[in-house]
Amino acid sequence: MMLGMTEPAATATMLAILGVLLAGCAVFARYLDRLGVPVVLIFLLFGMLGGSEGVGGLAFEDDELAFRLGTIALVLILFDGGLNTSKRALRSTWRPAGILATAGVLITAALLAVAGRLLGLPWDQAVLIGAIVSSTDAAAVFAVIRGGSVKLKDRVRDTIEIESCLNDPMAVILTIGTIEFLLQSGGGGGVAGVLRLAFLVPVQLGVGVGVGLIVGLLVRLILIHARLGNGGLFPVVTLGGAFSAFGLATVLFGSGFLAVFVCAAVVGNGSLPYKPGLRRIHDGIAWISQVSMFLMLGFLVFPSKLLPVAAIGLVLGLILAVVARPLAVAACLLPFRYPRAEIGYIGWVGLRGAVPIVLATIPQMSGLPGSDRVFHIVFFIVVVSAIIPGASIVPLARKLGLARAGGSEPAAVVELNSLQRLAGTIRVYHITPDVVVCGARLAEVAFPAGASAVLVVRGRELIAARGQTVLEPGDHVHIFCTDKDEPLIGLLFGSRVGES
């Protein structure tokens, strides 16, 4: 309770401060995106401003509550990520992304642990920090890659995003395994601990994938056959599936986070009723989760405790960005014959975010000596990761030629929602000078029998799709077609940039 206030007044004041922080994050996000600064950084900083040592004065030191709320937020973010991951992306990049999410995480953790020890940290803290920050963060990656002002080439984007969704289990296993080892009397049982860790990794991954597949298929069957009478009930089912997948996999000693991602990918790649609406709703839920989670984690940080670890945190953050992550990525991707530019870029985009900070609360809950120092070093590493690699993502992609041409987002999207499955959908295509139909009248385009253009968006102008309408470079054409007609539409109009 705030000093001198009744409980209702304190609650109202707290909610007012939170409301201002949330709105401020949303407003500043757009301006930071233009500057190339990851939006997650402003969320964390606003959290610090609202914390007990900031102007907001909100006292929050409950590590257990932060861990639980952070876990829920990560489940919602990962579900949104899986829901928007296509089968094409999974087929083309699951092998390299899977290697990065396992071997890459292990190599990164080992290199950073050695660096921490060389910089004077005790071995226990050095190894623990290496394990905690070993994985990239899906929330940070989605905020920068999907919300940024540049569109990456498909393979580069898919590898980065899918890796960020798959590598959390390895970091969780390493962190918990390290904590259990350190809590043992005298650090005994080292060989047994290593063997247990080697056994846990495949079990967690296998159980996570299996549970995710089963729950995802069940959610699809419910959405298709339950005949829900209200669109608002569809996200209730999908949210139930997300939490069920996480809980069931965790109880069965599997990776709950991996189960959530797999479940969402199964749901998102099915033919479902109300699919566009579900994607819009989960996208909003994911953004609310990101903002709320980073604000909350910012509350946990005491700026006065950052100063004593600033030097070691800065150096470790630089080593992670410049040495450990790039070396791990190069070792993992060389067998897959990625071009050097792509390997370098993927190695550089190793964004850390909420996952390491959430994991850093576990040693504090466990009562591990030095855990408070570890937490603030991890926070500093996350901030360095957001500022240095994060701010250079957009210009570096353009300089290396990894930005995708003709991939601008449509100014408007026609959304077609139905409580029943439909045989077709509306897809959006961006007209560039090199596509077949550029400069042609719609009457001259040989559409399949079941397909038709329904709308042309030119800048901020909406143009009715009539036979005499001429398709100009920069137009976004909305076309209704079935899945079987989509390949032919793609030959005429190029790659689609959206779908309703």
pLDDT at res. 2:
47
User: What order of strands is seen across the sheet that includes strand 476-482?
Assistant: 461-464, 452-458, 476-482, 424-430, 496-499
Q: Where are the beta strands (DSSP E) in 201-325?
A: none
Do 376 and 313 contact (CB within 8 A), yes or no?
yes
Do 178 and 128 contact (CB within 8 A), yes or no?
yes
Higher pLDDT, 18 or 429: 429
Residues 6+ apart with CB under 8 A from 370: 122, 124, 125
pLDDT at res. 208:
92
Confidence band, pLDDT 50/70/90 cuts, at residue 325: very high
274: its two tokens:
């109300």
pLDDT at res. 87:
87
3-state secondary structure of 476: strand
pLDDT at 346 over 90: yes
pLDDT, tens digit (0-9, with 9 covering 90-100), for 148-194 = 556 788 889 889 989 988 888 888 888 888 888 887 755 445 556 56
pLDDT at res. 410:
64
pLDDT at 214 over 60: yes
pLDDT at res. 237:
94
Second CATH level (architecture) for the domain 39-399:
Up-down Bundle (1.20)
Task: Round to whole Å and give the CA distance between 103 and 174.
Answer: 12
Which among 13-27, 143-157, 310-324, 363-377 has the top mean pLDDT? 310-324
Please give the average per-residue pLDDT across 82-100, as a whole number: 89
Residues 6+ apart with CB under 8 A from 191: none
Which of 493, 478, 364 lies closest to 61, judged by CA?
A: 364
pLDDT, tens digit (0-9, with 9 covering 90-100), for 439-458 = 899 998 888 888 889 889 88
pLDDT, tens digit (0-9, with 9 covering 90-100), for 400-421 = 888 765 555 666 666 666 666 7
pLDDT at 283 over 50: yes
pLDDT, tens digit (0-9, with 9 covering 90-100), for 362-402 = 898 888 888 889 988 998 888 887 777 777 887 888 888 88
Higher pLDDT, 467 or 22: 467
Which of 96, 158, 162, 104 lies closest to 134, judged by CA?
A: 104
* β-pair type (424-430, 496-499): antiparallel
Task: Round to whole Å and give the CA distance between 42 and 28.
Answer: 8
pLDDT at res. 188:
47
Percentage of residues of the chain with pLDDT beyond 90: 27
Task: Round to whole Å and give the CA distance between 246 and 255.
Answer: 8
Q: Is the dihedral of CA 216, 218, 223, 229 positive or negative?
A: negative
- Mean of pLDDT over the chain: 83
For residue 74, is it left (φ>0), alpha (ψ between -120 and 50) or beta?
A: alpha
Which of 383, 258, 319, 339 lies closest to 108, judged by CA?
A: 319
pLDDT at res. 187:
47
The vertex-159 CA angle with 492 and 138, nearest 5°, equals 115
pLDDT at res. 1:
45
pLDDT at res. 151:
77
Please give the average per-residue pLDDT across 487-494, as a whole number: 86
Do 428 and 498 contact (CB within 8 A), yes or no?
yes
Helices (H), 84-189: 87-99, 105-118, 123-132, 138-145, 154-166, 168-183
pLDDT, tens digit (0-9, with 9 covering 90-100), for 130-140 = 999 998 888 77
| Residue 210 burial (CB count, 10 A) | 16
487-490 own/partner pairs: CB under 8 Å, 24+ apart: 488/448, 489/427, 489/429, 489/447, 489/448, 489/451
Do 56 and 62 contact (CB within 8 A), yes or no?
no
Do 295 and 50 contact (CB within 8 A), yes or no?
yes
Q: Is the dihedral of CA 259, 263, 268, 273 positive or negative?
A: negative
pLDDT at 106 over 80: yes
Q: Where in the chain is the domain with CATH 3.30.70.1450?
A: 424-499
* Fold type of domain 424-499: Alpha-Beta Plaits (3.30.70)
Confidence band, pLDDT 50/70/90 cuts, at residue 7: low
pLDDT at 40 over 70: no
pLDDT at 28 over 70: no
pLDDT, tens digit (0-9, with 9 covering 90-100), for 269-279 = 888 888 888 88
Task: Round to whole Å and give the CA distance between 90 and 70.
Answer: 26
3-state secondary structure of 441: strand
pLDDT at res. 21:
65
Do 18 and 11 contact (CB within 8 A), yes or no?
no
214: its two tokens:
């089963």
pLDDT at res. 64:
84
pLDDT at 361 over 70: yes
* β-pair type (476-482, 452-458): antiparallel
pLDDT at 52 over 80: no
Higher pLDDT, 211 or 230: 211
Q: Where in the chain is the domain with CATH 1.20.1530.20?
A: 39-399
pLDDT at res. 349:
87
Q: Quick one: how many helices (H) and strands (E) in the chain?
A: 21, 5
3-state secondary structure of 420: coil
Higher pLDDT, 39 or 322: 322
